[in-house]
Amino acid sequence: MISIIIIDDDPFAVEIISQAISSYCPNVEIVETANGVQSGVAAINKHEPDLVLLDIKMPDGSGFDLIKHFDKPDFKVIFISGYIEYAIKGYKFDAVDYILKPIDKEELACAINKADDLIRYEEKMQVKALEENIKILNKTNKIILKTNEHVHLINTDDIIRVEADGNYSTFFIQDGRQVLVSKAIKGWEETLIDKGFHRIHKSHIINIDKLSYFDKTDSGDVIMSDGSIVPVASRKREMLLNLFESLA
């Protein structure tokens, strides 16, 4: 559904518009009507509509005055007026259409549906741009972690370690956050392996850069920068020892 606000001081015109929408525009919802510039601005600020059907001449100003209240309007406009002489000016305000009174219901419905198509097309372009940005993001040192309540954008340099919990994984972040996500640790191993991380145990992935020291005693644990103690699988100990030797 796209949301519409009707702003017109003529009750008869508002009724005709409402009938046209009800009869010909099933994907449209009228969220409010207003009868002037001030009430129209208030309605737009309250509902943030997709489309505004706007009269030109009203008691407290013009439809153009209303548009000027918004620095960069994020809604589409269809002007509805009994004055043909304002049509050119209306299109200079990037109007989708300019409908003359008396209102032809089918003509108005056609204009609304055109605005609907335009709004949906722009939304698709925005989604496509977002998808491309996320693809680029995945090639950088940031990852997206989605929980039931939040979407976290995390710099991989800030991740200390990842711990498995069945089909879930908990990320331990440098700022103290613990982010639980519904994805098994195997999937994160594939994502993080080329970003300085290593799986040292079936249940643990660590950021090598956040490793403080390796306990060479029987426990064979590693101590991370936040003081956490992480067990090392026996077959991984030789690898870590060699790593420390190379760094030394």
Confidence at residue 102, expressed as pLDDT on a 0 to 100 scale: 92
Cα(96)–Cα(57) distance, integer angstroms = 18
Give the total number of structural domains in the chain: 2
Q: What is the pLDDT of residues 46-76, one digit of tens each?
A: 999 999 999 999 999 999 999 999 888 889 9
pTM over 0.75: no
Q: Is the alpha carbon torsion for 224, 230, 231, 232 positive or negative?
A: negative
Query: Looking at the structure, do residues 184 and 83 belong to the same domain, yes or no?
Result: no
Query: Looking at the structure, do residues 88 and 153 belong to the same domain, yes or no?
Result: no
Q: Which two tokens stand for residue 155?
A: 């710099």
Q: How confident is the model at residue 190 (pLDDT cuts 50, 70, 90)?
A: confident
Amino acid occupying residue 44: I
Q: What is the mean pLDDT of the chain?
A: 87
Query: Looking at the structure, do residues 118 and 21 belong to the same domain, yes or no?
Result: yes
Q: Which two tokens stand for residue 98?
A: 């300019």
Q: Which two tokens stand for residue 40?
A: 């129209």
Query: Looking at the structure, do residues 11 and 59 belong to the same domain, yes or no?
Result: yes
Place of tokens 């015109």: 13
Query: Looking at the structure, do residues 10 and 122 belong to the same domain, yes or no?
Result: yes
Confidence at residue 244, expressed as pLDDT on a 0 to 100 scale: 66
Q: How confident is the model at residue 219 (pLDDT cuts 50, 70, 90)?
A: low
Domain containing 198 equals 142-247
CATH number at residue 78: 3.40.50.2300
Place of tokens 């009707």: 6
Query: Looking at the structure, do residues 204 and 148 belong to the same domain, yes or no?
Result: yes
Query: Looking at the structure, do residues 205 and 86 belong to the same domain, yes or no?
Result: no
Q: Of the candidates 115, 135, 155, which is a domain's last residue?
A: 135
Query: Looking at the structure, do residues 44 and 111 belong to the same domain, yes or no?
Result: yes
Give the percent of the chain with pLDDT over 70: 91
Q: CA–CA distance from 204 to each of 32, 36, 155, 178, 189 (Å)?
A: 55, 63, 19, 14, 9
Give the percent of the chain with pLDDT over 90: 54
Query: Looking at the structure, do residues 14 and 106 belong to the same domain, yes or no?
Result: yes
Please name every residue paired with 197 in a beta bridge, in sequence order, or none if there are none. 207
Query: Looking at the structure, do residues 201 and 232 belong to the same domain, yes or no?
Result: yes
CATH number at residue 173: 2.40.50.1020
Place of tokens 């306990």: 215
Query: Looking at the structure, do residues 29 and 126 belong to the same domain, yes or no?
Result: yes
Q: Are 44 and 75 in contact (CB under 8 A)?
A: yes
Query: Looking at the structure, do residues 180 and 231 belong to the same domain, yes or no?
Result: yes
